[in-house]
Amino acid sequence: MKKLQSSKQQLTVYLRQASMALLGILLFTTGAAADDITFTATPGSKNAIFKNTSTINYNIDVINSLKTNEDGKLTYRITTEKGVFVAEDSLKISVKNNDGARYQLSMPAGKPGFYKVSFMINVSDDDDTIRRVFGVDPDKIRSVYSKPADFDQFWDDTKAELAKIPPNFRMTEMKDSDRNNRKVYLIEMQSLDNLTIRAWLTIPVTKSKTRKFPVYLGLPGYQVPLKPSYASDPDIAILYLNVRGQGNSRDVIHTSRTDFITYNIEDKNKYVMRGVIMDCIRAIDFICTRPELDKDKIFVEGGSMGGYLTVATAGLDKRVKLFSAENPILSNIRGLDGVVQWPVNDIKAYVKIHPGLTYDKIMDNMDYFDAKNFATSINSSILVGIGLLDFLAPPNDEYTLYNNIPKDKKIMIFENLSHEVGNDYVSYQFHWLHDSFALF
């Protein structure tokens, strides 16, 4: 985006004095405290995504609950996700006591991407700032970092290596843990490097001896131990997987929370995520062996690292019908430097204590674990959820992943959320899953 000229011509301002009725509504909706200046910033386009436009519009509603008239200025400042300055401008504002006013900001749009924008109000008796993110033609966002030529071969070899490990599936009913009309099973299996990994399977109680349940496979977040799920859905079996190094699968790999992400990161053939991703494939192997589970109706979901594992699994395994990845991390990994602190700082700290190792060398390895590189091979249906304020999975990098998925995809954007998705996502996912599996 070219640097904007700071001029009032580019800052189209529409001011109208709001009625007390409007003030009342805004006070109600924003929960503004008495004796304060509050304001909201509302994008002029749904989810703060602006397409095929040359301007970015925001409505700024200012509420003055003070007993004095307030004069000052409203400023916006736009930067890239890396903090590179793009544009800034301001205008004078004046809000009467116990009144409100609306200002419409019109800012030039730049090249496709996501941008941070800060709205700052400085008046006689108060200062306040709102930070938001907006997107410009995100469907056109592409990573500048390429996929390794032998990426697919690397993972074909890895899967072949996994296939040579006898899975030795063990399924133990935990009768003392049955609850909420679900039976609970501890699942154990051998995965890559012959490590034992474990999962919790809960199956709705049924009188039918032939019933096959659709399966929900839940993949874990970073260092999040998963327990059995007692969700009340009577139609779905739930398998929660604890990948190596997490939950009850820490027999061999039992790092500190910080060290897990860098475990053997200097060697792509030994990096912990190589085994972790294969653990997900093995869990699907397990599902496909069970007569009470419907291998044609598998749904895989995860958030954060679980979202990353969901994308990786979707790229590598064609047996799953539906995937749902919420805030997947580790996408466009080379582009994360200067944008996020984690895991970049941990990787740099790891480099410092390993002589001869460089950040670039690690990035060469991480190309094989980049979510966006798995995305090109996805051919199942996938739902992706992102938060525009996400400090771990920034929207620009999420879109490099999303735009790499060839087809049958949907993204849900939450403009005011960080590393999470909203209830709309949960609701949509529920109905999508049940409709797709004909669980009407």
Partner 1 sequence: MKFLFVVAITTTAIQNKGYASAFPVRPGRLLLSPSATYFFADKEWDSTGVKKSFPGNGKFTSQSYSLYAEYGISRRFSAVALLPYVVNNYTQGSVSYPSSGLTDMETGLKYYLANINYIYYFAIQGTAITPLYSSQSLGYAEEGAEFKLSFAGSGELFDRNYYFNIDNAIRQYFGNGGPLQYRYNGTFGITLDKLFKNQLSVSLGGFYTTSNFKQFNVINPYTNKNFSFTQASLSYGHAFSHDFSVFLTGGQFITGRNTSVGTSASIAIVYRIGGI
Task: Give me the residues that bind partner 1 (CB under 8 A), please.
Answer: 206, 208, 211, 234-235, 428, 430-432, 434-435, 438-440
CB proximity list for 105: less than 8 A, separation 6 or greater: 11, 12, 13, 56, 57, 58, 59, 60, 74, 76, 119
Q: Whole-angstrom Cα distance, residue 292 to residue 339?
A: 46
Q: Which is nearer to partner 1, 332 or 380 (CB)?
A: 380
Q: Which is nearer to partner 1, 359 or 428 (CB)?
A: 428
What is the identity of the amino acid at 144? V
Q: How far is the CB of 412 from partner 1 (least distance, A)?
A: 10
Q: How far is the CB of 62 from partner 1 (least distance, A)?
A: 31
b/e burial code for range 107-139 (CB count within 10 A of at least 16 → b): bbbbebbbbbbebbbebeebeeebebbbbbbbe
Q: What element of type H or E holds 122?
A: strand 113-123
Q: How far is the CB of 429 from partner 1 (least distance, A)?
A: 9
Q: Which is nearer to partner 1, 79 or 206 (CB)?
A: 206
Q: How far is the CB of 438 from partner 1 (least distance, A)?
A: 4
Q: Which is nearer to partner 1, 69 or 206 (CB)?
A: 206
Nearest C-alpha neighbor of 107 from the set 139, 73, 142, 79? 79
Q: How far is the CB of 428 from partner 1 (least distance, A)?
A: 7
Measure the N-to-C terminal CA separation of the chain; round to a whole number of Å. Answer: 48
The answer to whether 188 touches 194, Cβ cutoff 8 Å, is: no
Q: Which is nearer to partner 1, 51 or 434 (CB)?
A: 434
Q: How far is the CB of 187 from partner 1 (least distance, A)?
A: 23
Q: Which is nearer to partner 1, 230 or 359 (CB)?
A: 230
Ordered DSSP codes for 137-167: SGGG---SSPPPTTHHHHHHHHHHHHHTS--
Q: How far is the CB of 383 from partner 1 (least distance, A)?
A: 11
Ordered DSSP codes for 342-387: TTHHHHHHHHHTSTT--HHHHHHHHGGG-HHHHHTT--SEEEEEEE
The answer to whether 262 touches 240, Cβ cutoff 8 Å, is: no
Q: How far is the CB of 439 from partner 1 (least distance, A)?
A: 6
- 152: tokens are 């697919």
The answer to whether 117 touches 60, Cβ cutoff 8 Å, is: no
Strands, E, within 205-279: which ranges?
213-219, 237-242
